[in-house]
Structure 1
Amino acid sequence: MTAEVRQVRETDLTAWFHTVDVAFGGLPDAADRAAWWRAVTEPERALAAVAGGALVGTAGSFSFSLTVPGGAAVPAAGVTLVGVVPTHRRRGVLRSLMRHQLDGVRERGEPLAVLTASEPAIYGRFGYGPATWELRMAVDTVRLAAPELPGADGVRLRLADPVAALPECERVYAALVPGRPGMLARRPGWERRGVLDPEGERDGAGRLQCVLAEVDGEVRGYARYAVKGDWDHTGPCGTVRLRHLDALDPVVHAALWRYLFGIDLTSSVVVRDRPVDDPLPHLVADQRRCGLGIREALFVRPVEVGAALAARTYRAPVDVVLEVADDFCPWNAGRWRLSGDAHGARCERTTDPAELALSVRELGSAYLGGCALTALAGAGRVRELRPGALAAASMAFGSDVAPWLPHGF
Structure 2
Amino acid sequence: MGLRTKIGLAIAGTAAVVSVVMGLLVHHRTVEAQYASARSQIGDRLQTAVQDHAAGVDGDRTLIDPPDLPKPLAEAVQQGKWGVYLDHGPKVPQIWAASKYGKEVVALKRPYQREAETVRDLDRVLWLAGGFGTGLACVAGLVVATRLGRRLKVKAGAAQRIAEGDLTARLPLRGKDEITQLAAAVNTMADALAGRLQAEREVTANIAHELRTPVAGMVAASGLLREGRAEELVRGSVRRLSELVDDVIEVARLDTATQEVRTEVCELGSLVRRSVAGVAGAGEGVPEGGPEGVTVRVVRDVRVETDPRRVERIVANLVSNALRHGRAPVSVEVDGGVVRVRDCGSGFPEALLSGGPQRFRTKGGERGVGLGLGLTIVQGQARVLGAGVRFANEPGAGAGGALVEVDLRGAVVGEG
TM-score, structure 2 normalization: 0.20
Q: By percentage of residues, which structure has more helix?
A: 2
Greater relative CO (CA pairs within 8 A, separation 6+):
1
| Structure whose CA Rg is larger | 2
TM-score, structure 1 normalization: 0.20
Q: By percentage of residues, which structure has more strand?
A: 1
